Amino acid sequence: MRVLSGIQPTGRFHWGNYFGAIRQYIALQDNVQAFYFIADLHALTTIREPQTLRQLRLDSALDLLALGLDPEQATLFMQSDVPEIAELTWLLMTITPMGLLEKCHAYKDKKAKGLPADAGLFTYPVLMAADILLYDSDIVPVGVDQVQHIEVARDIAQRFNHLFGETFVLPAPRVLDETAKVPGIDGEKMSKSYANTIDIFDPEKKLRKKIMSIKTDSTPVEAPKDPEACHIFTLYKLFASPGQQAELAQRYRAGGMGYGEAKQALFEAANAFFAPARERREQLAADPQRVFDILDRGAQQARAKGGEVLARAQAACGLAGLSD
C-alpha cells in the first residue's frame, strides 16, 4: 500500500497542523510506503514574494524532519523538483470537464465572496489529482475539507481510464482524526486564516507570550471552574499525561486557581513536549546541506516512480514514440 500526502509551505506549522495532520503522517510511515511532499507549486496561488516562498519551503522541510519524518522510511521531496507533475497535469486537464472544477469549494468560495480567482485556483484540483495519480497512490490522508479533492482525482482518473484504458490507480481518502480539537488563542479553530495560531517552533519567550494571551472568561480566581469548558484545558490535554490532566482538572473544580496558573501549566507542558524536536531542528538548520541532500534523494525517488506512471499515461493517450 502506498500513501501520499502534501503540505503547503504557506506559513510556519502550528499546533493545529501537528495534531491534526503531521503526527498522523509520521505514524503512517512505519508500516506503508510513504511519499510526502512540500506543495510549493500549490503555494504559488497565494504567495507572490519569492524570498518568502524560498524561506517557507526550507522551513517546512526542517520542521517535518525535526518532528519525526524519517527519510529512511518515507520519501520527502519538493513538489517543484518533479517536473513530471506538470506534464501529467496537462494530460489530465485535457479530459477534465469544466463543470467538475466549477463545483470545487475553493473556487466557489472565492467567487462567492467577490474575490479574484485566477486560473491557478480554478485548476488547483487537477494539479492535486496529478500529485496523487503520479505515484499510484492507494491512500491519501486528508482533512474532511479536502475529501472533495480526492473525489475529483478519482473522477478524473476514471474518465481517463474510460477513454484510454486502465491507466491509473484509484486513490481512497483516509480522513485524518480531527477529534482532538485544537483551539487557537481566541478559542476558535486554530488556523492561519484566523491569525490565532501558536507555532510549533516559537522561541520560549514568544511561546509563553502567546499562551498568556489566550482569551478566557471573567470567572473569579476563587470560583470553581469547569475544565471541559475551558480551551486552555483542551490544549493542555494534547500535551499532558492522564495523571497530569486529572490533577489540573481537580484544581479547576476546587476553585482558588486563576487562569494564569492554567496557562503556565500549558506553557510548561507544551515547551517540554516539543523540546526534542526543537533540538533536532537546530541541528538540521546548522547543516542545511544535509536537508538539501534528503530532498534531492527524495525527488529522485519520486521521479523514478512518477516517470513510470507518466510514461504509462503518455502511451495510453497516444503520446508514446512513433516507432512504438
Catalytic residues: 110, 189, 192
DSSP output for 169-236: PPPEEEE----S--B-TTSSBP-GGGT---BTT--HHHHHHHHHT-------TTS---GGG-HHHHHH
- Angle of CA points 220, 221, 227, to nearest 5°: 95
Which of 94, 21, 35, 102 has the alpha carbon at shortest distance from 63?
21
Alpha-carbon dihedral 196, 201, 207, 211, rounded to 10 degrees? 40
Query: Cell 475529501 maps to which residue?
Result: 147
CA atoms within 13 A on the CB side of 94: 11
- Quote the CA–CA distance of 239 and 267 in Å, as a whole number: 10
Residues in Cβ contact with 42 at an 8 Å cutoff, skipping those fewer than 6 apart: 6, 8, 79, 124, 127, 128
- Evaluate whether 59 touches 43 at the Cβ level (below 8 Å): no
- Quote the CA–CA distance of 154 and 238 in Å, as a whole number: 35
Amino acid at the residue 53 = L
